[in-house]
Amino acid sequence: MVVQRSISEINAKILQGEAQVLTVTEVKQRVAAEGEGAIAQIAATVDVITSGTFEPMESTGAFLNIGHTDPPIKIRQCWLDDVPAYAGLGAVDLYLGATMVQD
């Protein structure tokens, strides 16, 4: 049993507040509760399955500018709470990578 819906059909159901929207976890729970034989029926009744993830990538991070000091300094190495930050981008700029771990 193949169920096909167009985007416009799904959007209309969403606007009318009639769309059946489940997360991937909810779909898995329904399949576990109703059995694999119910997959086609579940697919026929669900309009949208949402999935999401929070996964910081290697390029995710924060640039920090700590401001100039008197006398001037140049940061060559830096750790924030034992987590290494990249220095040398600017005299007082640091880059803290989201995937960096404590030393």
Same domain, yes or no: 14 and 41: yes
> Under 8 Å CB-to-CB from 26, ≥6 apart: which residues?
none
Q: What is the extent of the structural domain holding 26? A: 7-50
pLDDT digits (tens, 9 = 90+) for 48-84: 999 887 777 778 899 999 999 899 888 889 999 999 9
Pairing type for strands 93-97 and 61-65 reads: antiparallel
Q: What is the pTM of this model?
A: 0.49
Domain-located, residue 103: no
Q: How far is CA 4 from CA 17, 28, 39, 41, 47, in A?
A: 19, 20, 15, 13, 10
Domain-located, residue 102: no
Q: What is the total count of domains within the chain?
A: 2
Longest CA span, the chain: 75
Domain-located, residue 20: yes
Domain-located, residue 45: yes
Domain-located, residue 28: yes
Same domain, yes or no: 66 and 43: no
